[in-house]
A and B are shown apart, each in its own frame.
Chain A
Amino acid sequence: MSALPTSENFKANAHAALGDAQLQKALGHVRVNFIERRASAAAGLPEFEALRDSARDIKNHTLAHLDLYLEAYEKNVTASGGRVHFARDAKEACALIVDICKAEGARNVTKGKSMVSEEIGLNAAIEAAGMAAVETDLGEYIIQLRGEAPSHIIAPAVHLNKEQVEADFRRVHTALPEGRNLDAPESLLAEARGILREKFLDADVGVTGANFLVAETGTSIIVTNEGNGDLTQTLPRAHIVIASIEKIVPTLEDASQILRVLARSATGQDMSVYTTLSTGPRRASDPDGPRAYHVVLLDNGRSAMLGTEFEDMLRCIRCGACMNHCPVYHAVGGHAYGWVYPGPMGAVLTPSLIGVDKGGHLPNASTFCGRCESVCPVRIPLPKMMRHWREREFERHLSPASVRYGIGVWAFFAKRPALYRLAAGIAMGALGLLGSARGRFRKLPLAGGWTDHRDMPAPQGRTFQSQWKAKGGRTR
Chain B
Amino acid sequence: MTSARDDVLSNIRRSLGVTGHEAPRIAAVDERLARAAPGVVPARGQLDPAARLALFRAQAEAVQASLAVAASAKDVPAEIARYLRDNNLPATLRMGADPRLAAMDWGATTLAVTRGPSAGDDLNAVSHAFAGAAETGTLVLVSGTDNPTTLNFLPDNHIVVLRAADIDGDYESVWTRLRATFGKGLMPRAVNMITGPSRSGDIEQKLLLGAHGPRRLHIVIVGD
Selected contact of B195 from candidates A185, A273, A277, CB within 8 Å? A273
- Min Cβ gap A148→B in Å is 14
Contact A66 B16, CB 8 Å, known A51-B40, A138-B211, A185-B206? yes
Report Cα–Cα, A101/B13, bound state, in Å. Answer: 32
Binding site for B on A (CB under 8 A): 26, 29-30, 33-34, 45-47, 50-51, 54, 58, 61, 64-72, 76, 80, 85-88, 92, 136-139, 142, 155-158, 160-162, 165, 185-186, 188-190, 193, 196-197, 200-201, 215-219, 225-228, 230-231, 234-235, 245, 250-254, 256-257, 259-260, 267, 269-283, 285-289, 297, 299, 303-308
**Which residues of chain B have C-beta atoms less than 8 A from A280's C-beta?**
189
Contact A162 B149, CB 8 Å, known A217-B186, A273-B196? no
**Which residues of chain B have C-beta atoms less than 8 A from A271's C-beta?**
63, 136, 138, 193, 195
Report Cα–Cα, A162/B203, bound state, in Å. Answer: 6
Q: Most B CB atoms within 10 A — which of A45, A259, A276?
A: A276
Q: Is the CB of A230 within 8 A of B32?
A: no
Q: Is the CB of A230 within 8 A of B185?
A: no
5 closest A-B pairs by beta carbon, nearest first, are A227-B213, A226-B211, A139-B202, A306-B15, A303-B11
Q: Is the CB of B172 within 8 A of A256?
A: yes
- Min Cβ gap A181→B in Å is 15
Report Cα–Cα, A312/B16, bound state, in Å. Answer: 13
Q: Most A CB atoms within 10 A — which of B150, B204, B210?
A: B204
Q: Is the CB of B11 within 8 A of A304?
A: yes
Selected contact of A47 from candidates B25, B42, B186, CB within 8 Å? B42
Q: Is the CB of B37 within 8 A of A253?
A: yes
Report Cα–Cα, A174/B51, bound state, in Å. Answer: 53
Q: Is the CB of A68 within 8 A of B196?
A: no
Q: Is the CB of B191 within 8 A of A276?
A: yes
Q: Is the CB of B20 within 8 A of A274?
A: no
Q: Is the CB of A92 within 8 A of B4?
A: yes
Report Cα–Cα, A164/B200, bound state, in Å. Answer: 17
**Which residues of chain B have C-beta atoms less than 8 A from A156's C-beta?**
202
- Min Cβ gap A271→B in Å is 4
Report Cα–Cα, A288/B117, bound state, in Å. Answer: 7
- Min Cβ gap A100→B in Å is 15
Report Cα–Cα, A332/B116, bound state, in Å. Answer: 51
Nearest-CB residue, chain B, relative to A52: B40
Report Cα–Cα, A287/B195, bound state, in Å. Answer: 24
Q: Is the CB of A256 within 8 A of B171?
A: yes
Report Cα–Cα, A279/B59, bound state, in Å. Answer: 28
- Min Cβ gap B128→A in Å is 15
Selected contact of B33 from candidates A66, A251, A273, CB within 8 Å? A251
* Beyond A193-B212, A250-B29, A285-B145, 18 additional pairs, beta carbon < 8 A: A33-B205, A34-B205, A68-B26, A92-B4, A138-B211, A139-B202, A165-B203, A185-B204, A197-B212, A217-B185, A250-B36, A252-B175, A253-B36, A253-B39, A273-B199, A277-B193, A279-B191, A288-B149
Q: Is the CB of B42 within 8 A of A288?
A: no
Report Cα–Cα, A29/B202, bound state, in Å. Answer: 11
**Which residues of chain B have C-beta atoms less than 8 A from A139's C-beta?**
200, 202
Is B96 in the interface zone, CB < 8 Å from A?
Answer: yes
Q: Is the CB of B193 within 8 A of A274?
A: yes
Report Cα–Cα, A225/B212, bound state, in Å. Answer: 9
Report Cα–Cα, A217/B186, bound state, in Å. Answer: 6
Q: Is the CB of B203 within 8 A of A189?
A: yes
Q: Is the CB of B201 within 8 A of A155?
A: yes
Binding site for A on B (CB under 8 A): 3-5, 7-9, 11-13, 15-18, 20, 25-26, 28-29, 32-33, 36-44, 59, 63, 96, 116-117, 119-120, 135-136, 138, 143-145, 148-150, 152-154, 170-172, 175, 178, 185-206, 208, 210-214
- Min Cβ gap B14→A in Å is 8
Q: Is the CB of A217 within 8 A of B16?
A: no
28 contacts between A and B (CB under 8 A): A26-B204, A30-B205, A46-B42, A50-B40, A51-B40, A65-B28, A67-B12, A80-B186, A138-B203, A165-B203, A201-B119, A216-B33, A226-B198, A227-B212, A234-B153, A256-B175, A270-B135, A273-B194, A274-B195, A275-B193, A276-B192, A276-B193, A277-B190, A277-B193, A283-B189, A287-B117, A288-B149, A303-B15
Selected contact of B29 from candidates A65, A193, A234, A267, CB within 8 Å? A65
Nearest-CB residue, chain B, relative to A250: B32
- Min Cβ gap A324→B in Å is 11
Nearest-CB residue, chain A, relative to B194: A274
Q: Is the CB of B18 within 8 A of A67?
A: yes
**Which residues of chain B have C-beta atoms less than 8 A from A259's C-beta?**
171
Report Cα–Cα, A280/B188, bound state, in Å. Answer: 9
- Min Cβ gap A408→B in Å is 34
- Min Cβ gap B115→A in Å is 10
